[in-house]
Amino acid sequence: MTREGATSPARTILVADDDPDLLLLMSLRLTNAGYDVSVASDGRQALDRISQSLPQMAVLDVMMPELTGREVLAGLRAAEATQHILIILTSAGFFGDVDDLDLPVRADGYVSKPFGREELQNRVTELFQR
């Protein structure tokens, strides 16, 4: 596991999930990995907070109330200020749902739930190293 945050300033990530337990788990792990983590518990909140604080990355659950992860993704890509933010979609969805390659607006990475201990951190590290 890379501890990016060891040298400041820490990278900023917003994590959005409507399941509070998973939101806690993900923010715990990413915080432990040294990132500066903020959270949102639905899609509308996520879009508002991202637009306001402009984090470097957003980890969005696909199935959220108010706005789905895909809608938040589309909203971010549509605005100039937010279109370069790295996006990871997470999903506890059905087979084939997570990496739907046919969609016009695509995320930078996908992680399906449940994910192993290092899976999310590894994907985040990969994207920051690109």
**Residues interacting with another protein, by CB under 8 A?**
19, 21-22, 25, 28-29, 63, 92-97, 113-117
> Which residue, 121, 93, 109, 89, is CA-closest to 25?
121
Q: How far is the CB of 66 from another protein (least distance, A)?
A: 16
CA distance 41 to 59: 12
Q: How far is the CB of 88 from another protein (least distance, A)?
A: 15
| Nearer to another protein (CB atom), residue 44 or residue 113 | 113
14 with 87: CB under 8 angstroms? no
Q: Which residues of 105-130 are buried (b: 16+ CB within 10 A; e: fewer)?
A: ebbbbbbbbebeeeebbbbbbeeeee
| Nearer to another protein (CB atom), residue 106 or residue 113 | 113
| Nearer to another protein (CB atom), residue 11 or residue 29 | 29
Q: How far is the CB of 82 from another protein (least distance, A)?
A: 26
β-bridge mates for residue 108, sequence order: none
38 with 81: CB under 8 angstroms? no
Q: How far is the CB of 98 from another protein (least distance, A)?
A: 11
| Nearer to another protein (CB atom), residue 8 or residue 94 | 94
